[in-house]
Structure 1
Amino acid sequence: MKILITGGAGFIGSAVVRAAIPRGHQVVNLDALTYAACLDNVASVADDPGYAFEQADIRDRAALDRIFAEHQPDAVMHLAAESHVDRSIDGPGDFIATNINGTYEMLEAARAYWTRKGKPGDFRFHHISTDEVFGTLGDEGKFTEDTPYAPNSPYSASKAASDHLVRAWHETYGLPVVMTNCSNNYGPFHFPEKLIPVVILNALAGRPIPVYGQGTNVRDWLFVEDHAQALLTVVEKGALGRSYNIGGNNEAANIDIVRKICAILDQRHPEGAPHDKLISFVADRPGHDFRYAIDASRIRDELGWQPSVTLDQGLEQTVDWYLANKTWWQNLQQRHGVGERLGLKG
């Protein structure tokens, strides 16, 4: 299968690219190379004859039409998105433009291409989204594929809108789509403005480790390489028009994640230990959802996927990767906004 992957130089997208090639697929990586993208993320497969790269913006319809016509993909995996909640609070316009308008342009370009090809039944448009579209949970319960949407941030609202567009293009135009909503990802190549890399890198530098509020917000953590395998399983075998929740079965409060990382660093990098002395509780961000939890039974029961990495294993692998790849993250720390406290304009 030849797959057009949007956002393939980003965190999750690059994991999909790296997983797709060994799985026997050809990949066309479409990425605008915005601040959070890095082609080093796909260096391990960049020389493979089944890999091609196209620098383009998903809002550029002419570029999309050219790429579809030139590469003739069998499927689209649409991951390109603005994804940092704090940045969405400070500047929601970029999220509307990319996540909503960009998804519209992708859908229309894919529909035109699919129509020109005679509407082949084996074409797939796989839209990748987030569990944040469902809003927040209390102490009990989990998100299912039937949970009503209730987004609380500009980011999650823009992703919810894009989900609705994909569903509408399937129902109205018959575009063959599959959809997924995932829990919080972590792992190698995670851009250094998100929680887990911030904890690792601040601890290594001896800087305060910021924890929003009291750190009681709960997330289900999904190792990114497990997520990539799940996404490829869905594009290969998922039922048309079907939505699949993807989770790691690893619920943990943010403060517990921070302490686990500090304990791993105490062993792997004893200089500066105990690292948990750097924990600093800071003002919470506006609209911070209390708890996310995923019921991933549908993808397990229908497609046979389940996570392979426990939270402790994944965190150890992640810390080890950052310790071994300093050049990668040191270069990214120079980019705009990295290391600054964002999301306070609310």
Structure 2
Amino acid sequence: MAQPLQPSAGPTAKNGTALAQSQLDSSLRHFTETSFDPVDFLNDHLPPLTLTASQPHATRAPNSINLADLSSRSQSLVSQLGTQNVRLSGNLTQLTEEILRSGGRLAYEVEVLRGEAISLADALSENLHEDIIKFAPEGGDVGEQKEVPDEEGEKESIPELPNEPEFIAQLRILGQVRRRLEEVIQTFGDAMEWPLPPSELSITSSFISVSAPEPGTESYSREEKGQEIAKKLRTEITELLDSNGGGDSGVAAATERLEKLRNLATIWKGTAEEKARTRFLDGLARIIEDRRKALENQRDRASKKARSSMEQIAEERDSGPGAGLFRGLQRIRDEIYLE
């Protein structure tokens, strides 16, 4: 038999915490089950009643007690259930009061938001109506378009609305200028992050062999930084080639990154660093080309292997018992095609 219910200990929490704990209490879970039966509950939590007093020859069940003990245990169980009921009723009362208070606060906040929305609508439709028309005139069809040359000399059109104030068009032009300045700043930052080692520059600008810079000098630090950036770019290209399984998608990603570097290298066009940077980019291009050729060779080998397997199967079929029949059918088919 199960032991009698024990009253749960611990302080009562606020804002529904006590209710959540009571729902998780193992001693209360059976009350929430749909198959709960009071008779089964009492039979499980109370020991059986002995009948030896009224029936001396009756068989006594194990752990059975007499009527007096059973009555006291029943009263104890009812008292424990009553304590649980009082505690849960208190929790329910607290939650109900909290819901009522929250409902009042929520209604007040809704009224405040409603008033603010009405005030904003009145301000937009009455007080600020004329100012809004200046920025978004009525009949907003796109009219003439101004053409502004971009960095590459191509002209980019800027739409203008009819009856648009002049300062609005100027603001649009300023916004476009700002975007271009941000692009220039970004490009300049990328260029500053790609230094060229002095040794590469010396080799490309002179036929005289120049020794490596001595440690501790400024050229030595520039050499280290340049070599580090070059190694980083090679590693980046290699990682892109190995990405997505190292297939065609990786080659495409590496090629796209190389094109961005080539566009960035146009900054040094006509300078002493142009040849060195071009040679470095050509080295990266060779890495990508080697990977592309390796993939093509791999596909060719796979296709040749599949073709040889098919030819081997055909030879085995021709050399089998029905080879003469197959050759005869093939000859008849060829004759039909010739006719």
TM range (shorter): under 0.3
- Greater length-normalized contact order (CA 8 Å, ≥ 6 residues apart): 1
- TM, length-normalised to structure 1: 0.18
Q: More strand per residue: 1 or 2?
A: 1
Larger radius of gyration: 2
TM-score for the superposition, normalised by structure 2: 0.18
